[in-house]
């Protein structure tokens, strides 16, 4: 088994900014805020966040904020809860949460809660349990969880629970590992994991590990490095991670590295991107791979960042 090509991944992440004109960068331009979160969190886990110009990042983030308080995916793009969380997470990484008007961001998120407890992604009303997680995580980081109706929010998430113990986007929606992370994460952050059927869900989740050691996101699907985060963090939050083989998964992730040019892909020998590089590194961190900072499974931020938010006065 190979080793983590940490230095190459750092170089790869730093190089993305220089390839702004590639077709991929243009296609992903509208979600650069997510990209920033993936890249910077991966850098932090690799212990190399200090190579960046903090002020430059912070001022770019702030230029994506709208009057409503929400953040867009890039300068000029509309505000959406997806990018608002990424913005807040990146600011938390840099210990720069003091640059935002907390009440303004809070008001934006609060305004997106619906009568049934669910959350819309923006003013156009798409409802999804992803947005429930985002709202709860974001407000929790800002110490403003009391501003929403948590009880209703939890109830809505539970209404999306399925026969396999997993969760879907909306009531009746099929279980999907990414969605399960969102729902289990939201329940974790609200102290409601007693409402999860941990053994049933744990069995479904651990059966996501396929022969190659990789994890898939739904039954009878191909494995993908990104599920090293979604499945693994969910298994950790419900304390069932010992039900899979960690060694096999580590090997799978390492096999997806581009050992020449850095970066990690969805499956071995596919093209790398920052999304899978982050999820690969974060997955290895959850697997206690040596040399990486530990990451918190619910806040999706390094443990030291979370501790700084909650355990310093």
Partner 1 sequence: MHGRPRKSLKQEDEAALSAKAEKLRSLQSQFLVNHHNHIYSKEALDLSAKLLEINPECYTAWNYRKLAVQYNLSNSESNSDSDSAASIFDQELKLVENALRKNFKSYGAWHHRKWVLSKGHSSIDNELRLLNGFQKADPRNFHAWNYRRFVTAVMKRSDEDELKYTEDVIGDNFSNYSAWHNRSVLLSDLFKRKAEGFFPKEKVLREEYEHVHNAIFTDPDDQSGWFYHLWLIDQTVKNDTPLLVSSWPSHGSNITLNENNYLHDCGLSLLNSTLSDTRTLPVILYFNQAVEGINSSTVAVKSEVLQEDLVWKPLSTNNSSTAQIWVAYLNLNNTELQLSKTYSIEITIGHSMGIVSSNGYHYGDPSQITFKLCVQTAFKEPVEGQCAKLTSWKDNDFQKIDNFEESHSTVSADHRIPTTSNWCMEEIDEEITNFRDLLSDCKIGKLTLARLLTALDLLSPQHDKRKYHTEEVLKLYTDLMKLDPTHSLYYKDEHSLVLLQQITSSGESLLPHCHYYKNATETNTSYICLRLQNLSLSRMGSIQNLLWVQMLDLSHNELRSIEGLEAMQLLSCINLSHNKFGSFTALGPLRLLKSLKVLNISYNELGSHSIDTRRYLCSSPLAHTEVFAWDRFEILCGSFSATKFWEAFLIFESLNLMDLNITGNAVADENFTSFIVKVLPTLKWLNGEELS
Asked whether position 243 contacts partner 1 by CB under 8 A, the answer is yes
For partner 1, the binding residue among 62, 107, 170, 251 (CB under 8 A) is 170
Nearer to partner 1, 52 or 178 (CB): 178
Q: Are 156 and 144 within 8 A, CB to CB? A: no
Chain positions 278 to 297 lying near partner 1, rule: CB under 8 A, are 285-288, 294-297
Rounded Cα distance between 107 and 6, Å, is 40
Asked whether position 145 contacts partner 1 by CB under 8 A, the answer is yes
Q: Is 127 helix (H, G, I), strand (E, B) or coil?
A: strand
CB of 254 to partner 1, least distance (A): 15
CB of 53 to partner 1, least distance (A): 25
CB of 52 to partner 1, least distance (A): 24
| # residues contacting partner 1 (CB under 8 A) | 95
Q: Are 303 and 62 within 8 A, CB to CB? A: no
Rounded Cα distance between 168 and 174, Å, is 5
Q: Are 291 and 285 within 8 A, CB to CB? A: no
Q: Categorise residue 172: left if φ over 0, alpha if ψ from -120 to 50, beta otherwise.
A: left
In terms of Cα–Cα distance, which of 204, 267, 198 is closest to 237?
198
Asked whether position 131 contacts partner 1 by CB under 8 A, the answer is no
The number of CA neighbours under 13 Å toward the Cβ of 78 is: 5
Chain positions 188 to 207 lying near partner 1, rule: CB under 8 A, are 188-195, 200, 202-204, 206-207
CB of 257 to partner 1, least distance (A): 10
Asked whether position 77 contacts partner 1 by CB under 8 A, the answer is yes
For partner 1, the binding residue among 18, 27, 50, 56 (CB under 8 A) is 27
Asked whether position 24 contacts partner 1 by CB under 8 A, the answer is yes
Residues near 29 by beta carbon (within 8 Å), at least 6 away in sequence: 74
Asked whether position 80 contacts partner 1 by CB under 8 A, the answer is yes
For partner 1, the binding residue among 53, 56, 67, 220 (CB under 8 A) is 220
Asked whether position 2 contacts partner 1 by CB under 8 A, the answer is no
The tokens describing 57, both together, are 């990042």
Chain positions 92 to 111 lying near partner 1, rule: CB under 8 A, are none
For partner 1, the binding residue among 265, 281, 283, 300 (CB under 8 A) is 265
Which CB contacts under 8 angstroms, 24+ apart, belong to 54-63? 54/94, 54/96, 57/90, 57/94, 58/91, 58/94, 58/96, 58/99, 60/36, 61/33, 61/36, 61/87, 61/90, 61/91, 62/99, 62/100
Nearer to partner 1, 21 or 53 (CB): 21
For partner 1, the binding residue among 175, 214, 215, 281 (CB under 8 A) is 175
CB of 55 to partner 1, least distance (A): 25
CB of 263 to partner 1, least distance (A): 9
Rounded Cα distance between 59 and 157, Å, is 35
């Amino acid at each position: 088994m190979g080793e983590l090509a940490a230095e190459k991944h750092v170089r790869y992440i730093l190089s993305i900014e220089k390839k702004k004109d590639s077709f991929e960068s243009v296609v992903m331009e509208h979600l650069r805020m997510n990209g920033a979160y993936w890249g910077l969190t991966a850098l932090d886990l690799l212990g190399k966040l200090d190579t960046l110009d903090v002020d430059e990042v912070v001022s770019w983030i702030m230029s994506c904020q709208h009057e409503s308080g929400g953040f867009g995916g890039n300068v000029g793009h509309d505000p959406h809860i997806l990018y608002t969380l990424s913005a807040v997470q990146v600011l938390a990484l840099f210990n720069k949460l003091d640059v935002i008007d907390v009440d303004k961001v809070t008001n934006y998120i609060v305004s997106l809660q619906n009568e049934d407890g669910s959350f819309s992604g923006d003013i156009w009303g798409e409802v999804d349990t992803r947005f429930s997680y985002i709202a709860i995580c974001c407000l929790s980081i800002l110490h403003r969880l009391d501003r929403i109706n948590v009880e209703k929010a939890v109830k809505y998430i539970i209404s999306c629970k399925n026969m396999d113990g997993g969760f879907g986007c909306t009531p009746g929606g099929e279980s999907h590992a990414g969605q399960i992370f969102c729902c289990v994460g939201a329940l974790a952050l609200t102290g409601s994991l007693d409402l999860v059927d941990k053994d049933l869900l744990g069995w479904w989740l651990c059966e996501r590990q396929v022969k190659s050691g990789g994890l898939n996101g739904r039954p009878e699907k191909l494995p993908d490095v990104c599920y090293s985060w979604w499945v693994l963090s969910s298994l950790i939050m419900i304390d069932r991670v010992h039900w899979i083989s960690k060694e096999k998964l580590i090997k799978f992730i390492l096999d997806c590295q581009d050992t020449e040019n850095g970066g990690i892909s969805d499956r071995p020998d596919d093209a790398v991107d920052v999304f899978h590089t982050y999820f690969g590194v974060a997955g290895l961190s959850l697997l206690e791979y040596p040399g990486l900072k530990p990451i918190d499974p619910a806040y999706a931020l390094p443990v030291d960042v979370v501790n700084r938010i909650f355990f310093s006065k």
